Amino acid sequence: MLSARLVFRKRFSLTMHTSTCDTFKVDKVDDTLKVFDEMLHRQVVPSVIEFNKLITAIGKMKHYSTALLLFKRLHLMGISANINTMNISINCYCRLNQVTYAFALLATIFKQGHPPKLATYTTLINGLVLADRIFEAVELFKKLLREKICEPDQVTYGVIINGLCKVGETSKALELLNFMETGSCKPRVEQYSTIIDSLCKDKMVDDALLLFTKMTEKGIRADVITYSSLIDGYCLRGERDLVPDIVTYNSLINGYCKKKRIDEAIKLFLKIPEKGLIPNIVTYNSMLQGLFQSANLAAANKLFNEMQAKGPTPDIITFKIVFHGMCENAQVSEALVLFRSLGNSVPMKGVGLYNILIDGCRKCEMSNLAMDLFDEVISKGVKPDVMTYNVMIHVYCQEGLFDKAKELLLKMEENGCCPNAVTYNVIIQEFMKKNEHQDAKNLLEEMIK
């Protein structure tokens, strides 16, 4: 019997210059397993679709062996697997480099009379690529086309193109890209970028640039991977007149951070001094935002301290990023200490920073602190905006101070700050909770007007 108390830990090591900051994340596998057990013991056992959702969640945490154990438990309990269950299991076997077992499951699918989906074949092809069995993957792909088993999509083509580039068969990948362009399944930026990257690594930068031009002429917008590959290609070739400047690096770092690929952003950030460049305020702001969004708090705090010590002077945008990042990661007390250390600089003590801190207090159920900050806004003559009022109305409602919330709504209008949909929604919801339906209706009509 599989224990319901399985806790897996992952270690993330983040290097910032000369030191390493380690953080630990406990995956909620044990919670998922508890739900799985509870579902199995219900009087009316849920459908396999509900179990698939849980097994998928385990797989996304990269605990593939555990997901396969759950799949086997379903079988032992007499719960029939559907095609999606089989696909999930095939993917797990492929990720564990057990492609033989994955193909055995394909045979089971045929025996059970399930028609395999494109996703089944794409997963198997990707499994072969992951196992460095590229040419077998290509043969299976050709079989799909030749026997018209199913029509490959961009994902399937992308897997094959990636596999071919992986073994240095860039020319064959390019042929496949050209074949896509003649059919109904047109290539996307991901397929172009993979080949551009491979060409650049082969020092065929001119060919990469030609493909880049062809792609953009078709109206396909390059992404951060495309530009990064081209820049690296020019650098490898030693074209000093085309060495990227700090603006280029900022664009790339920002792109990686927005795609939540923080490790690649860090690598790029660490390359900047090596290229004889100096990170500017935009570089630091982008990196701080990316680190906070990925919950790398230790690294974000270290970078902010480094910025204050020897980097560009933090601006209002920097402080907004830092305060928002701290509050979103339950570091409201630390954010308040930092806020107090800023003194009474007008730009730093504008309503924007107060809004972030007041909302952070609200989310962390520190309502008294939120109220104190709001009183400070008023006493210092800082003009509240619609967000300030909305957050405070929410705070009053949370604390059951409904009369104060209504009073603040009136004061808001008196001060020339027009309520928006958020303002009305908070109040209306509170009316509904109190069964004051007529008041809710009146307010809704006012909002529409």
Residue 169: its pLDDT value, please? 94
CB 21 within 8 A of CB 37: no
Across 391-402, average pLDDT: 87
Residue 368: its pLDDT value, please? 92
pLDDT band at 176 (very low <50, low <70, confident <90, very high): very high
Alpha-carbon distances of 53 from 1, 68, 118, 294, rounded to whole Å: 21, 13, 20, 25
pLDDT band at 18 (very low <50, low <70, confident <90, very high): very low
Cα-based angle 342, 347, 353 (whole degrees, multiple of 5): 70
Number of domains in the chain: 1
The answer to whether residue 306 scores a pLDDT higher than 60 is yes
Residue with tokens 């390493």: 20
Residue 6: its pLDDT value, please? 32
The answer to whether residue 19 scores a pLDDT higher than 80 is no
CA distance linking residue 291 with residue 107, whole number of Å: 45
**Domain assignment present for 78:** yes
- Beta bridge pairs of residue 20: 15
Window from 2-6, 299-303, 375-379 with minimum mean pLDDT: 2-6
Domain ranges, residue 64:
1-116
CA distance linking residue 413 with residue 183, whole number of Å: 60
**Domain assignment present for 93:** yes
CA distance linking residue 199 with residue 209, whole number of Å: 9
Alpha-carbon distances of 182 from 177, 178, 185, 187, rounded to whole Å: 9, 7, 8, 10
**Domain assignment present for 53:** yes
Q: Which two structure tokens, joined as six digits, stand for 52? A: 């698939």
The answer to whether residue 170 scores a pLDDT higher than 60 is yes
- Beta bridge pairs of residue 10: 25
Q: Is 125 helix (H, G, I), strand (E, B) or coil?
A: helix
Calculate the CA dihedral of residues 169, 175, 177, 183 and round it to 10 degrees. -150
**Domain assignment present for 304:** no
**Domain assignment present for 42:** yes
**Domain assignment present for 108:** yes
Across 149-171, average pLDDT: 94
**Domain assignment present for 101:** yes
Q: Which two structure tokens, joined as six digits, stand for 49? A: 């679709």
Helix or strand holding residue 377 (H, E): helix 367-379
Window from 3-12, 155-164, 418-427 with minimum mean pLDDT: 3-12
Residue with tokens 């199995």: 40
Q: Which two structure tokens, joined as six digits, stand for 103? A: 């193909």
CA distance linking residue 224 with residue 246, whole number of Å: 15
Of 348, 355, 398, nearest to 373 by C-alpha is 355
CA distance linking residue 38 with residue 343, whole number of Å: 55
Across 118-123, average pLDDT: 94
Q: Which two structure tokens, joined as six digits, stand for 53? A: 């959702």
Q: Which residue has the higher pLDDT, 29 or 387?
A: 387
**Domain assignment present for 164:** no
Residue 3: its pLDDT value, please? 35
